Amino acid sequence: MEQGVGRVHQVSVSRGGVPKLPVDRARVDVLGLDGDRHNDTKHHGGPERAVCLYSLELLEKLNAEGHPAYPGSMGENLTISGIAWEQLTLGSRLRVGDALVLQISAYTTPCQNIAGSFADGRFVRLSHKRHPGEARLYARVMETGEARTGDEVRLLPDA
């Protein structure tokens, strides 16, 4: 696969909290995925944190380190394969499928709610400060659309 191009491995939603569970597809608007809710709206959701993203390859790395993380277990909405995660920085834009465009707005701050995804409970393993290029990412929705399992994900050139 060409550089900067990947696939949606899993689309995940929940009625609040983790894990988020797989769905085949979800409509995505400026407030996030249809059917997805947050227990803590102070720290999650809203236009600047509409979609949470994570890398399948980094999940596999966590598994190799002995952590029981799996797609959706750490609250991500889209688990993406094939894109070098360290290429994604604040302001990076991704086209998902035909219409959806996301812009990276923040590195997530790991919290106690995802401790179960780590063998030792040390959720700070996902801290961008401690492990640059390995954090989950929040994105704002620049163009609404649908996210489907198997959709192409393309890193767009800088605006």
* 132 preceded by a cis bond (ω within 30 of 0): no
| 86-111 burial: b if 16+ Cβ within 10 Å, else e | eebeeebbbbbbeebbbbbbbbbebb
* Confidence (pTM): 0.94
Residue 41 has pLDDT above 60, yes or no: no
Average pLDDT over the chain reads 93
Say what the pLDDT of residue 44 is. 63
Residues 31-38: what's their mean pLDDT? 90
CATH 1.10.800.10 fits 5-155, yes or no: no
Under the banding of pLDDT at 50, 70 and 90, the label for residue 32 is: very high
In the chain, % of residues over pLDDT 90? 85
Say what the pLDDT of residue 39 is. 63
Give the separation between CA 154 and CA 88, rounded to whole angstroms.
11
